[in-house]
Structure 1
């Protein structure tokens, strides 16, 4: 009798678990479209594309919304989006493929292929290996140097040269810090080892063999594509189309544009040890190499109460979520954010592409999909992230209004406006020039390596100016001038944290 009772309890428990999984699975089949369409409205996203791969099959592949605000052209599965830092997994995989082919080792020193490579810490520059570039452990802060490199006119060898001028914040290999210029440097090892440019190698060895025929390696090609989205952001609370970022100087770190149709092939290959059908496109050893834990990012605390680890492999974040190992990355460039997620044990892949940089749907949707497949309680990530975002936006708008109100008071600067004009210099960035604006006490700043961008400076009293960049990606800020004995000696420049978190101090050139 006891055995029968135990058997009935086990059957009942199994039925409850299976019923929960069935109910959660209905989220994918019955509720996902309405979830996404509502989220596009809530987050003010013009267009998105989503793909779910499970057990070697495409469960969902669909475009939502429109390519450009104000135009009726709808997003489809072949519409291109910039994928930003999801490019990094392609770069790391390419180098791991070259290791599998014995054309290099990921433990080789960088100087073996790029003799001119240097770091401010000379010993670290000599000791740095390819893995150090691919897992962000050179000693820099996250996004350090990106104001100089992002959307600038610097070409690749100039960025590598300037990387050598950056002052590392931490000792070599002690602290994780996300470094885009390091990934550019890693990508430049590809032509040194193969004789082919990074973008050519990717097309010939990854894109074409996988059938990713619409995918573009360079941002310069995106405006020429027929089926493409347009980037958007919020400017003074209004959703606005903006120019494409030009990132080919940093291409191996973030230049690829792709569609969910093409990305589904990439994800399916990664979940099947590099195979498409019976064809081995990517060596299994190369995929395994990119998923080896390399550096600790930190502890992960999820809103549902779960905790875990966050580690960086090579071009991938590695997470522990509800007992599952997740391989994932996100990508953000001007007007776009995206995510790519793999749960190898579940043979589950998720791709989310959006054409505005002011949303978190790329993050919340993937977590709600993961919970659905793992049979977890529905935590409604999207609702909670949206509420937090709206509160943050309200605070930012209040600060912005306070700044605008201050500038309307027409407060006079401490010194004559002409004393702030002139040329300024920063050892890493280079030159900045400040001239009189069109009226009153306005100033205008021009930047050597961002020739298409300028910034307007309005006085806030004293030696502080409220600043608005012509490229909204760089945001708004307050620039203080440094003054000694009645003479301007420098200026502190700050751009949006989306680009770089720390300010730059420029010295005035007499």
Structure 2
């Protein structure tokens, strides 16, 4: 679901602050050419952006194509899937219920235990489940590793209820509240809490309390809705150096974590309200107290970051990343889902908001553009972040390609396997995910998954009991899977996928 971790922790600087009160020259004179060059360099079909300053739209504009190879132009009303930028909407909707009496007669609080509203809520440790409050869900402090469970949940045939049940069986890597770990399934739980407390579905409540009052007339809550929209961007990725259209992600079983589709024009309304303590067109749509709740720091991410990041700290509120940059408080989030990466950024002190929407998941330009606009408004020197990030990407991919070629050379040498190929075939099971079948077909091994119809991985021998697993879906990557063998019999296989999807490996035990 993502590019989230890399985006959340990447590319923030601190230099000095000379905020612009007028539209900077970069935005007025150079932005169009900057974006046009970048679309080609990054292989991005289309992009739509919004800049809000002092309550007004400085820029609402689309560039490029909705779908590669077509003449359909992106505009400010083109819908993009916004991925984890959905989380701020979910957290805000819950914060809006604070202190309100619910249909059952109870008053709602973010400090309430989850089981007060959702008695069926379970976690691997029953005590942790009983102590978990709603804030814990919204600030990623349950003890799970970042992205843990995402391979199992996203684009699967699991229902929303089955996601919650399997999440309850998943063993966290760390102890409760000991560290931050980005947990998409926790927001699925939060959406269920919202429904149980209010008596309305997550999507219906967002429509009633946020989309309609804010004037977000084209925004769609569920991922299943974008395919039938008239003005929509297609999803794309880059595989083996080539841009290709892919299917929209099916994430309605995790909708509160990332299923919204929106446009630059609609998100401009969200920015205006966020930058004016919940007001738009003179109307208080979101209580100022709810805005404050979501921006209150709850979790510590760290005191530094990777390339270009010399900021002093990174924190997480409720659905928002909180950082200091050039002496200013930055409230932001990014979103990545199959075929899209997007960013939403607020600088409350400057009444500045930026939205960048792109229709390929294989770029960091959406972060580079945001940073360039931010620096321009804060009076900081031009850095050409696009080129800096692109150079880093090219270098990283060259290294990865070299490592991949070494593996392909090993495969081409036809190394001996620890056991006959057919011995690795059979039925395997993970204690939470369920079944995986490895079939022996035409002298090849192919792995198929119970809950991911149409997704498979071909296994090529690397020697001994190690195989290179290549997924038919490029988003899931190419990974080494080691088999565990005891006394000449296969005990299990360690299944991993691309870090973009999940870091945590799964051990599937061989049943037969």
TM-score grouping bracket, smaller chain normalisation: over 0.9
CA distance in 1, matches of 2:175, 2:507: 23
The alignment status of 1:355 with 2:393, answered yes or no, reads: no
State whether residues 24 and 375 of structure 1, in contact with CA within 8 Å, keep that contact through their aligned partners in structure 2: no
The alignment status of 1:161 with 2:160, answered yes or no, reads: no
- Alpha-carbon deviation of 1:352? 0.3
Tell me what 1:468 maps to.
Answer: 470
Tell me what 1:508 maps to.
Answer: 510
CA distance in 2, matches of 1:458, 1:41: 35
State whether residues 100 and 286 of structure 1, in contact with CA within 8 Å, keep that contact through their aligned partners in structure 2: no
- Alpha-carbon deviation of 1:284? 1.1
1:366-401 CA-partner distances (Å, limit 9, x unpaired): 111111101112222222111111100111122222
49-58 vs 380-389, which deviates more?
A: 380-389
State whether residues 100 and 283 of structure 1, in contact with CA within 8 Å, keep that contact through their aligned partners in structure 2: no
State whether residues 83 and 258 of structure 2, in contact with CA within 8 Å, keep that contact through their aligned partners in structure 1: yes
State whether residues 50 and 61 of structure 1, in contact with CA within 8 Å, keep that contact through their aligned partners in structure 2: yes
- Given the superposition, is the C-alpha separation of residues 21 and 56 from structure 1 closer, same or farther in structure 2, using an over 3 Å criterion? closer
Tell me what 1:400 maps to.
Answer: 404
- Alpha-carbon deviation of 1:461? 2.1
Tell me what 1:186 maps to.
Answer: 190
Tell me what 1:80 maps to.
Answer: 79
State whether residues 49 and 63 of structure 1, in contact with CA within 8 Å, keep that contact through their aligned partners in structure 2: yes
CA RMSD for the aligned pairs? Answer: 1.7
Tell me what 1:122 maps to.
Answer: 126
* Greater RCO, CA 8 A, separation 6+: 2
Q: 2:258 aligns with which of 254, 261, 264?
A: 254
Tell me what 1:495 maps to.
Answer: 497
Structure 1 runs (4+) deviating above 4 angstroms are: 20-24, 301-305
When you count helix as a share of all residues, which structure comes out higher?
1
Tell me what 2:417 maps to.
Answer: 413
CA distance in 1, matches of 2:304, 2:219: 33
Tell me what 1:299 maps to.
Answer: 303
The alignment status of 1:451 with 2:453, answered yes or no, reads: yes
SS at match of 1:466: strand
CA distance in 2, matches of 1:237, 1:403: 19
The alignment status of 1:49 with 2:48, answered yes or no, reads: yes
CA distance in 2, matches of 1:302, 1:496: 20
- Alpha-carbon deviation of 1:94? 0.4
TM-score, normalized by length of structure 1?
0.93
Equivalent residues in 2 for 1:363-382, closer than 5 Å: 363-382=367-386
Tell me what 2:215 maps to.
Answer: 211
- Alpha-carbon deviation of 1:21? 5.1
Structure with bigger gyration radius: 1
414-423 vs 402-411, which deviates more?
A: 402-411
- Alpha-carbon deviation of 1:363? 1.0
Tell me what 2:334 maps to.
Answer: 330
- Given the superposition, is the C-alpha separation of residues 21 and 253 from structure 1 closer, same or farther in structure 2, using an over 3 Å criterion? closer
- Given the superposition, is the C-alpha separation of residues 100 and 212 from structure 1 closer, same or farther in structure 2, using an over 3 Å criterion? farther
- Alpha-carbon deviation of 1:191? 1.2
CA distance in 2, matches of 1:80, 1:95: 25
Tell me what 2:283 maps to.
Answer: 279
The alignment status of 1:131 with 2:135, answered yes or no, reads: yes
- Alpha-carbon deviation of 1:268? 0.7
CA distance in 1, matches of 2:126, 2:308: 45
- Alpha-carbon deviation of 1:305? 6.6
- Alpha-carbon deviation of 1:112? 0.8
CA distance in 2, matches of 1:323, 1:160: 41
CA distance in 2, matches of 1:302, 1:395: 18
1:72-100 CA-partner distances (Å, limit 9, x unpaired): 11111111111000000000000011115
Tell me what 1:264 maps to.
Answer: 268
